[in-house]
Structures are given as structure tokens and as C-alpha cells.
Structure 1
Amino acid sequence: MNDKKRVAEAGIRSAIIVDDGYDEIPLAQELLDEDGWDIFFDDVQGDEAARIEAFSPGFDPSARDDLRSDQEFINALWQNREAVRDLLGGLFDVYEQKATDNAPFLASAEAALTALGIPYKTHGRDFVDAAAAADLILIDLFLGIHQGADDRRLTVDRLKEAIAQRAGSLPSIVLMSQIPTIDELAKEFRSEVQLHASAFRHLRKPELQTPGRVQGLILTLAAHRGDSQALAGFVDTWEQKAKEAVVKASSALRKIDIDDLQHIRTMLLRFEGVNTSSYMLDIFDRVLQYEIEAHGEVLEAAIPLDEMADDPPPLMISNDRDTYAILERTLFVNPSRRSHATGAVWPITFGDIMGPRPGSTIKPRGFFAGRNDLVFFVASPECDLIRTDGLKTVLLVAGRLEEVDMTKPVLGVSGNTTPVLSIDGAQRQQVTWDFGDLRTVNLSRAKNLLKTSGDAVVLGRLRDVSALGLRQQLLGNVGRVGEMAPLPRSFRFSAEIHYAQKDGTSLQLNLPAGVMLRGNALVPRKAKFATLIFDSSCENDLTAAILSLDVATVPDGSKALLNKLKEQTRLRKLFRSGFQWTHLPLKTTQSAELLKDGEPLPERDDKKPKLEKVGMIVTGPDFVDQLGAEFHKSGLIFKISVEDGA
């Protein structure tokens, strides 16, 4: 299937290119601060004013403040600029120069769409109606000559307006800009416009002139267009129906009046010892969830996610990926909800995780026995912690905090593991529970430990299902409560690429200034191996650097591996399926291996797929010595560093 057919079958049958370079007339607001105005008004005095009056009757050079804001006057001045060029004082120079600079880039974008057989139209800042019907939008980040915050806001607001008008699926979008910091700004742009990464790409305008660059981006968007739209449709449906569910739940809950609250309190809560506010928050949560679940549209919108394609693998977009944030929301109660007073006698409840107070001195003979990695899970039933006639002592399960780190052997997730626990809102740990280490604490000691000056704090409260799963483990793993499987965890990493020289030294692969190689390491549940996938934002630069590498300068033992990666079918895998079966914890040195072409994936996640070596992965600074005799036959050497906060 050729490229034109792939794009057409993906549903990309129309496009627009949006750039202020297509605007025929400058806007008054973008010329307000031009120095040329003062020169112009100083020069159009006396007889010279008649030259302006010829096309702008009633021209009064003394009304300069009004005229520089008058769009009709600017239109007339622009249309007759050649006749009065000597009077303009460079008023239109910046605007005209920007259009001239942009012209070759826009011509390249147009040529790329033509090559793919995609009909297109060009638009300046007035693009909303056209964008509401286009399948593909190539759009400039700054719609204005000043390239400032107002120009960027105009782009975002009008694109959001266009998307809001669409009756069908979302468009695929390519963001363009000449600024070198587009990588970070693109992340913010995508978030503001509310797009999934699979429907969005960005590039610097000079890259428009790189042969095949734009076509490659569009083909990638086309390859995953259907799946991306299914995901976007599900999220949008969920959002809309959740809003409707709030209205419906509110209607039902408004039937509860103060007399009901009084009856609930006198007939139930006063015996349970629970505050009315806490009880009603729980009721509202459950009613809202019930109403969301009632919408068949949400369930139907989720079904296409079962049919998402495995081939081709999607590109990795890692610069704002944070699966841990979602994982935490599925496992833990929100801290604000947790801190709301329930009226319980005990300062702790079922599912709480107690740990040392951050920043405090841990006493050698205190509750935590001098250990800053010791935490406790509250395993006693919640109802017995509420009433005054409840438990006299509470059962605790001891656990060990371990920093979440790719280089440490603690990433495996099993029934006795809580895969993430944020401390102080930033530092991420995981907990391994020891069901053979049981402790107890009485009420007075619990209160002393958790008072403001005490040694302990509640680090988090597990949701019911997660807490029940741990307690089932404690009770002998009989009839476990099923839990939702946690998302694969991910770590951002940065990388340098080196290769051996014939003289025994190493060279770093030459990349353009400012290009940083980044990616994500995806860690499955068992955490014995990870998949390292490079971020697609560096695909073009890294591909060009590897293809231009002179193999004649490397030792004979490295040439075969280098030549493997010079084949683009393998190069593309770096950004799609990535390095497979990478040992955890990360070793000082290990093979960099890609999936072998034509080989089916194993049916079990503990079985190694068919792989081929294409280089080496290293983690230490002294990799030449660490590789030893393997250095001369290592091919490309990928030096991996896990980024802070990943």
C-alpha cells in the first residue's frame, strides 16, 4: 500500500495550513509599537500629507494616536505602500520580512501535502470555520509577528474554538514554530488544547524543508488515527456523561433534607460515632459513581479500546508522561478527603499507612526503632476504630519503604507490594509488606504518635479495594479480593550515544546543539525486565546522526552492529517497540536488543521474545573499562541516566 492510500484510508482527506504568513494585511494591534509610526507622522506634514489623502480622504496627521489604531487606515496604507514607501519609515518592514522568511517553509509544507495527495487550503489568523471541518491541521504556534504570549494565546483559543465546533472526530495536528524551545512549549500547547499525543506532532519550521520529514509525521499520525480517535472519544464521552451524572446525582441527593440528616444522625451515626459530614461525603461519592456507570454511552465508547492495534507500535512521547500520578489516584484516597474529620475515636483507620514524620529525628528506641524506612499498614476493621466501645489495640502490618529507582532491585510488584507511595508530595517510594511482622498499638500511643509534635504521620490511605487486598494476604491468601491491575510504571531517562574508535578511544555521537535524547522505560508488574523506548521528538535528529556516521572509523568488530542500525526499519524500532528485555535493576553493561523482524510475540510476559543485538547499554561513566574486551565490538553504546523525579 502506498503512502497516499495509507493516508486516505486513515481518514485524512482534507487539510489546512494555518500561519500568519498567509494574512494579506497586518493587524493594527501588532503594529502599535512599531517605531516607523513616529517617522511616518513626522514626514507626512504639509504637501506630503496630500499623498496620503489621495487614498485616505480626510487624513489628519495630528490624529496620530487614533490613526495607528484604525484598521481601515492601515488597510489603505498597506494597499498603497509601494506608492508611499519613502514615507513609511520601515513601518511594515518586520511584517514583510516575516512573510518573506516564512514563505519557503510554507511552500515545503504545501509540497508535502501535495505529495501525499491531501487537498488543502491555506489560512491566516481567521481559520476557525475551516479548521472545524479539516482532518489535518498544520498550525503555527505564534499567530503574530511578535512571537509573544498574546500571539500564542490567540492560536490556542481559536484552535480550541474550532475543535469545540466539530461534530465528529478530532483532527490530527502538526504544530510548527521557528523557536528552538518548541519541545517544551508543544507540551503545554497540547495540554491546553486537550489532545492526546498520538494525534499531535510538532516540529521546528526549518525541519519542514528536510526531505520526507513532514510526510513521515503525517504517516505516523495516520497509522494511529483510528486508535487515537477511539481513545479521545472515550475520554470525551466519559467527561460529558460525568457532567450529566453530576446533575442527575444532585437531583436525587437534593431530596435529602435537614430532617433526613437529623434522623440519620440520631438513628444511626450517633451509635456509630461518625460525623454527618464524613458520612454524607461517602454517600455522595457512591451515588455519583453509580450515575456515571448508568450511562451506556460510556460503556460503548470504551469497547473500541479493546480493538487497538498492536502493529505498528505507537511512538513514545515521554516529556510529560507520568503513569505514577494515575496509579496513585487509583490506589489512594485524596489527601484532602483523608484529612477531613470523620468523628472516629481513633486518629487512624483501616487502610492508613503510618510512617516517620518527615524531617523529624527518628529515635533509636522509639516506635520506628531508628529506621526511616519502616511503615505500618492499619489492618483492623474500620468500624471498630470509630466507636468508643471498639478496639483497645489496633493490628498493624510492618512494611519497608524502598525508593523507586530503575537501578535498584525493588521494582517487582506482587501481592505484598504497594507499588507507589508519595512522601511530602514529591518523593516516590514503594512498600514491601511483611505479613510475618505484626505489631499492635493502643489508642493513647496512637494519639501521641500522630499529634503535631509526634513521631508519626499518616502518609496515605489506601482505597477500600487495595486495603482489602492486603488484608486478604494477611489472612492467608484465602479467597483474595480482586484488585485492578496497576498500570505499567515508567521512568524518564536521558541518554548519550558513544562508539569506539580504532585507536581505543570513544566518541560521542554528534547531534545538533540543544538536542537532548530522552525516553521512557516501561516497567511491567514483575519488574525483572524493562522496555526502553526513545522519545519520538528526537527521532529525526538521531536518525540523521546515525545514518551519517562513518563506519570506516570504527573497529571491525563494531561495524556489523552499526550497519544494522543504519537500516531504517531497525532505527524506527528505537521509537516504537524500543530495547526489549532490559534487565532490572539496570546493569553496568548489558546488550541493547530490538525485536526481531517477523517473529511473533510470546503469549506470556515471562517468556523472552526473539531479539537481536544492535549495541550495548551502559550506566556508569567508565564504560570503556567496564566493557573491557567487548568495547571494540560493542557497536553503538547507549549510556542511560535515569532523570530525577522520573
Structure 2
Amino acid sequence: MLADLIKQNGITKACIVDDANDNVPVLNDLTNLSHEWNNLLDDIPLNNELVLAISEGKKGFDIDSFSADDADDEFVKILWSLRTKFPTELSELFNAYESTKLADSRYVQTLKDILEESGFEVTTAGRDFNLAVEEADIIFIDLFLHLDQTEDNLKYSINILKDIVRKRIDNPPIIVLISRSNRLLEHGRRFRDECGLIESGFRIYKKVDLEDKNKLIFCIKKLLEHYKDSIKVLRFLNAWERHATNAVSETVSSLKKLDLLDHNMVHNLLLDEEGQSSSSYFMDLFDSVLLHNFESQADIVNSAQELNQIDFSLTPTIQGLQKAPLQELVFKSIFMGSERCKLNDKDSIELGDIYKLASAKSDENDFLQLETESDNVWLVITPSCDLMRTGIKNIGLLKGTLSKVSYDNWSSDTKSNTPVIYVDSDFYSIRWDIKSFMTYPKTHLKKLLNNDVFYRTAKMREVNALGLQQSFTADYSRVGQRAILPPVFKVSIQLAYLDSEMKLNIFSNQEASQGLCYVGPKKQKIVNFSHRDYENVLASLRSLNLECVHPLAKSNVQNIIENPYSLIEAIDSGVEVGNKYKNISTGGNVLAKILFGEPNEQELKALKGTGFVFIVESSA
């Protein structure tokens, strides 16, 4: 299977980058061994023969003026060459150095053997890996390429790989970041982002797990399965980044033709009569021209067309590197930036403005305040052309209710909902009461805004405001909008089994779960497991005593213990979950069940045949 993927994707050349592959240490390696290093520096002046040997190799060496600050890589290289001639003096330091390399050397060899058995052409490299990785299709690189795990050390690797990726921007290598360090997860996201990669073409991997051949092959298999599709996504992103400058330049070039006289005439002949500010008008104009120029970039459009060729039947595995929620993208697509709102006066009123009660009500007899609770907002849906004419007396307002966003209340029905808005440092959804429309005197609303009774909490983009406006007037005339991205929420996943006494036993996760739950437009919920969740499942299966399992479930449980990756494969593409059991099957055989929350005593009976159940719970 892996050999087929290697051939299909043309991913044949692997390179292992680790300082364990270096034959000669450098200064930073030895200064990290402070005890042995300091002992050596103290002893050198006492050995005339060693001083003479160093002097012969290092030009200008003067033991009387030499200090630790004068030591460099050349000095270390000379000491290394003298280690067999002066074993008594140098063995303590270099034995300590070689012992620290021993474990890493073993891991490198294990990895090399597995890769070669799988059909890869494997090369190895140390710190100077620039040339070695230029043609590599997949790179396994140590997080720190020196014994001292410093910021400069980390930047060294990132900068070289960033340059490699830049040279191969439309066809970058797969990168697997490996380490024994407990800081691997901490630095993984930064390494990925600064190198210009996306998650489906990048992995972090503990060196200790390299000894588990099946786990390593599974990881590589998942990377290769999604390689071609991840390249399509990356090309699209790179096309946007490369051609954004072209679009901006073309926009600026066009708009520079509007000189001060043009601004003057637009204001005097058009805006002044309509009561609209120049700043808001020209920002809208510039936005439209910039969008046109983006859409006119051929490379962006061509790379976007490639997204249609992605194989959506395969679901990538969650890496668990602090995935940003898609809710943020949805919010930005619906609302203008907060700085943009500052172009409007405090008491200006425009289509799409959303107002919220600032604090306490100033007048309990005021109808607008009487109708407003702390979780209510009001949307201006009066047509822009009417608002621009100062003669209008009343403003049309639509009432909405805020609810914190979660997978239980997410709605992509934009007819009467705004799926997400950012208020008071948190994400909320808005349920609009289409029948709760009111008109309110414009002068009164301005007064409430000036007195800080209400404030503009956000400004909706015109197309979204028009959609809600049309929902109010007539369903059939509603402006069509793009489908809303599905939201994603963090969830905790635990495996449990039914024991011989009909009791549920929940395995304790070795690592914190990093599951994600996506919610579809019909509120279907799909849970995706991360690599860390897979490790928890495998560890749980290894620890399970078959004799403790319910007799009717032993056959299924035994098959899974003997073939643990059958269960991993079954959950790898995501699993639908609900408040009732959903089956996890492969080839018609039910391997386990899954549901939100722990099953009650009555529901435990359904586990007799399978024995296993995944329990999914919301995670903060």
C-alpha cells in the first residue's frame, strides 16, 4: 500500500536531517556539557604537550591569553582530531558528547531502515543540510540541530527550510519535524507557519515513536494520501500571496487618476446632496476596484479551479497544532473591520449597522429601550438611498438575540440568522426575529448614540444586510449568499469498554485529547480524531485485559486488539456523532459505537456485541 502511494505521488527521495549525522562536534555542542567543558579548559594549560599540539593546528594560539570566549568551532575541531593522541585529557568531554549522540543515532538508523524497507531512497545530513535536501521529497528534520536548544538554533533550521520551500513554492517537500524534546508541540506550529507550509504537508513526530514501525508507516501513508491535494491548496494560497501585490498596484494606479479636483467634484455634486461622507464613499469604491483586480489575476483563478479536483472522499487527520476556528473567517466575511467603522460619526446611521445597549437603560418609557434586553441587538435595514436623504424621519430596525456559538446552536440558515458575530471578546450567533420589525425616530436614535446609551457593535457588509432586508420584505426576493463555512469546535474523546459486570470502564487518556467537531448545515456533527487521539486509543488497547471484557464482546475486542489499526482506519475519515449511538464500521462489521456524553445504564445493553464506545464531550 505504501509502496503504491510512493509510486503514485512520485515521493521517492527521503532525507533525514539530524546533528547525530555529524562526524565532528561544534562549539555549541560542547559548551552545553558545561561540567566536562570547564574541566577541560582548566586542564589544558597544565599539559604542555597538548598546548603544543593545539598551537600546531590553530594559528596564533597563545595559552597565556586564551579564555573560554576565544574558543570557536575550529578550536573544537582541533581538539576532536587530537582525542586519540590525548585520551586521558580529552576522553571525559568527548565520551560525554558521544553518549548524548548515541540515542539519536539509534533513532536515525531505525528511521532509515524503515524508510528503505518501504521503498524510499534515503540520504542523511547533519547541520549543513542545504544541498542534501534540495531534491528531497520528504524531509525528516530534528527540531534542534545542536545540543544547546536555543532560539538561534531553532531559527537556523527554519531559515534554511524556508529557503528550500521558497525555491520550490509550488511543489514543496513534505516535512516531518522530529525530536526527543518536550518542546516539540510548542514549536511545531511556528516551524510550520514560518516555513510556509500547511498542516496536511507537515507533521510533528516524537523520536521515541520511531521505534513503532506500524505507527510510522501509518503517519507517512496519511501524508502521501493527501500530498497532491495539499499542493493544490498551497498553490491557491501562494497565488493569492504572490499576486496580491499586483492587484494592489493596479488598484492604486487606477485610483491615482482621481486627483483632488475629482474628489472635490464628487463631494459637491453627489455626496453633499446625499448626506454621505467622502471617506466612506471612497473606501467602498476602492474596495470594489481592488476586488475586481484580484478577480482579474489569472494565476489566482487558475489555482482556484484546481481546488475542484481535490478528492474530498479522503479526510486528513488532525495534527493538533492549535487549529484556528473557521468561525473567525466567517465573521470577517460578514462584517467590516472595526477600524473601518471609525470612518462613521458616533451618531451616523447606515444600512447594516448593528446596535447594542451599552449599559443601563436611561429611560424605561422609551420604546426602543423597553424592547431591549442585554442579549438583544438591532440591525438597521432601511435602504441606503433613503438614509442618505436627510428628510427621512424613521429608521427601520430588526431585532436579534445573541447566543454563544457552539456546535449545538450553529445555524447556516442566513434567512433569519447571522451565524457569528464577535462581541465582548467572544463569538455569538444572532437569531433575527423577522416579525419583530420596528420603526424608530431617527433623531431619537441619534440622541441615544450620542449619549452612549446604545453603541455600534459591528457593521455588516452590504450584501449580508441586504439578504436580511429581503428576508423581511419577501422570501422569494432574498439576495442569494455564499454557503457558510462549517464551524469547528474542540472536543475531548475517550475510549471506554463494557466489562463482564455490565459496567462502563473509561480509559484515561495518556495525552490530552485534541479532537475536533465540525457542524454541517443540517446540524450533522462530524468528529475528527487527531494523531494524539490515535495514540491514546492504541495505548488503551495495549493496556486492556481481555478477561475483563463482557463475554459477548470478547470476539470483537480480541480482533481489534490483534489488529488495532483496523479501528484507527475506521475512524480516520471522521465519524458522525449524536446524542444516540452511531456505529463505527468497516466492511459491514461494527467495531465500536460513538456518542456525545456517557451512556446511561439502559444504553449500556447495546454495547454487548461490540464492547467499545467512544465518548465525546465539549472541550474548553
Provide the TM-score with structure 1 as the length reference.
0.87
Tell me if 1:539 matches 2:534: yes
Query: Taking structure 1 as reference, are residues 560 and 267 closer, same or farther at Cα in structure 2, changes over 3 Å only?
Result: farther
Contact 1:346/1:385 (<8 A) preserved: no
User: 2:213 aligns to what SS in structure 1?
Assistant: coil
Q: What one-letter code is carried by the residue in structure 2 that aligns with 1:231?
A: V
Contact 2:394/2:442 (<8 A) preserved: yes
Q: Structure 1 CA distance, aligned partners of 2:167 and 2:155?
A: 18
Which 10-residue stretch deviates more, 502-511 or 469-478?
A: 502-511
Computed over aligned residues only, the root mean square deviation of the Cα atoms, in angstroms, reads 2.8
Which 10-residue stretch deviates more, 290-299 or 530-539?
A: 530-539
Structure holding more helix per residue: 2
User: 1:200-219 residue pairs with structure 2 within 5 A?
Assistant: 200-219=202-221
User: 1:115-514 residue pairs with structure 2 within 5 A?
Assistant: 115-166=117-168, 168-318=170-320, 319-341=322-344, 346-357=347-358, 367=369, 369=371, 371-389=373-391, 391-406=392-407, 408=408, 411=411, 413-425=413-425, 427-451=426-450, 453-454=452-453, 456-509=454-507, 511-512=509-510
Q: What one-letter code is carried by the residue in structure 2 that aligns with 1:638?
A: F
Contact 2:502/2:604 (<8 A) preserved: no
2:595 aligned residue: 617
User: 1:67-146 residue pairs with structure 2 within 5 A?
Assistant: 68-88=70-90, 90-92=92-94, 95-146=97-148
Query: Taking structure 1 as reference, are residues 21 and 433 closer, same or farther at Cα in structure 2, changes over 3 Å only?
Result: same
Query: Taking structure 1 as reference, are residues 626 and 321 closer, same or farther at Cα in structure 2, changes over 3 Å only?
Result: farther
Identity, % of aligned pairs? 26
User: 2:132 aligns to what SS in structure 1?
Assistant: helix
For this pair of structures, how many residues does the alignment match? 613
User: 1:215 aligns to what SS in structure 2?
Assistant: helix
Shift of 1:240: 0.7
Shift of 1:230: 0.8
Q: Structure 2 CA distance, aligned partners of 1:73 and 1:234?
A: 49
Query: Taking structure 1 as reference, are residues 411 and 263 closer, same or farther at Cα in structure 2, changes over 3 Å only?
Result: closer
Query: Taking structure 1 as reference, are residues 27 and 324 closer, same or farther at Cα in structure 2, changes over 3 Å only?
Result: same
1:45 aligned residue: 45
Query: Taking structure 1 as reference, are residues 616 and 478 closer, same or farther at Cα in structure 2, changes over 3 Å only?
Result: closer
Contact 2:170/2:235 (<8 A) preserved: no
Contact 2:170/2:231 (<8 A) preserved: no
Q: What one-letter code is carried by the residue in structure 2 that aligns with 1:594?
A: I
Contact 2:400/2:431 (<8 A) preserved: yes
1:640 aligned residue: 616
Q: Structure 2 CA distance, aligned partners of 1:340 and 1:305?
A: 37
| Cα deviation 1:479-503 (Å, max 9, x = unaligned) | 3211010011111101222223223
Shift of 1:4: 1.6
| Cα deviation 1:87-142 (Å, max 9, x = unaligned) | 34844455433321201110111112101211122111222233332211111111
Q: Structure 1 CA distance, aligned partners of 2:462 and 2:585?
A: 40
Contact 1:332/1:461 (<8 A) preserved: yes
Which 10-residue stretch deviates more, 240-249 or 61-70?
A: 61-70
| Cα deviation 1:343-392 (Å, max 9, x = unaligned) | 6x9533111222233x6579876616462222222111123334433x21
Contact 2:83/2:91 (<8 A) preserved: no
Query: Taking structure 1 as reference, are residues 187 and 558 closer, same or farther at Cα in structure 2, changes over 3 Å only?
Result: farther
Shift of 1:330: 1.3
Q: What one-letter code is carried by the residue in structure 2 that aligns with 1:423?
A: V
Query: Taking structure 1 as reference, are residues 327 and 618 closer, same or farther at Cα in structure 2, changes over 3 Å only?
Result: closer
Q: 1:593 aligns with which of 563, 583, 591?
A: 583
Q: Structure 1 CA distance, aligned partners of 2:188 and 2:512?
A: 15
| Cα deviation 1:251-299 (Å, max 9, x = unaligned) | 2222222222222222222222233222222222222111111111111
Query: Taking structure 1 as reference, are residues 262 and 363 closer, same or farther at Cα in structure 2, changes over 3 Å only?
Result: closer
Contact 1:272/1:386 (<8 A) preserved: yes
Q: Structure 2 CA distance, aligned partners of 1:360 and 1:168?
A: 56
Q: Structure 2 CA distance, aligned partners of 1:362 and 1:96?
A: 76
| Cα deviation 1:536-575 (Å, max 9, x = unaligned) | 3332442343365333311224446645755556523454
Tell me if 1:551 matches 2:546: yes
Q: What one-letter code is carried by the residue in structure 2 that aligns with 1:307?
A: Q
1:601 aligned residue: none
Shift of 1:430: 1.1
User: 2:67 aligns to what SS in structure 1?
Assistant: helix
Q: Structure 1 CA distance, aligned partners of 2:90 and 2:365?
A: 83
Q: Structure 2 CA distance, aligned partners of 1:435 and 1:203?
A: 52
Contact 2:411/2:417 (<8 A) preserved: no
Contact 1:523/1:530 (<8 A) preserved: yes
User: 1:129 aligns to what SS in structure 2?
Assistant: coil
| Cα deviation 1:582-607 (Å, max 9, x = unaligned) | 33xxx3xx213236548xxxxxxxxx
Contact 2:526/2:574 (<8 A) preserved: yes
- For structure 1, the 5+ residue unaligned runs are 599-610
Query: Taking structure 1 as reference, are residues 452 and 65 closer, same or farther at Cα in structure 2, changes over 3 Å only?
Result: farther
Contact 2:326/2:488 (<8 A) preserved: yes
Q: Structure 1 CA distance, aligned partners of 2:188 and 2:374?
A: 40
Q: Structure 1 CA distance, aligned partners of 2:219 and 2:281?
A: 52
Q: What one-letter code is carried by the residue in structure 2 that aligns with 1:324?
A: Q
| Cα deviation 1:188-224 (Å, max 9, x = unaligned) | 3222222111111111000011122222222111111
Query: Taking structure 1 as reference, are residues 85 and 272 closer, same or farther at Cα in structure 2, changes over 3 Å only?
Result: farther
Shift of 1:181: 4.3
User: 1:187 aligns to what SS in structure 2?
Assistant: helix
User: 2:185 aligns to what SS in structure 1?
Assistant: helix
Q: What one-letter code is carried by the residue in structure 2 that aligns with 1:523?
A: V
Q: Structure 1 CA distance, aligned partners of 2:435 and 2:566?
A: 49
User: 2:290 aligns to what SS in structure 1?
Assistant: helix
Q: Structure 2 CA distance, aligned partners of 1:5 and 1:63?
A: 63
Contact 1:616/1:634 (<8 A) preserved: no
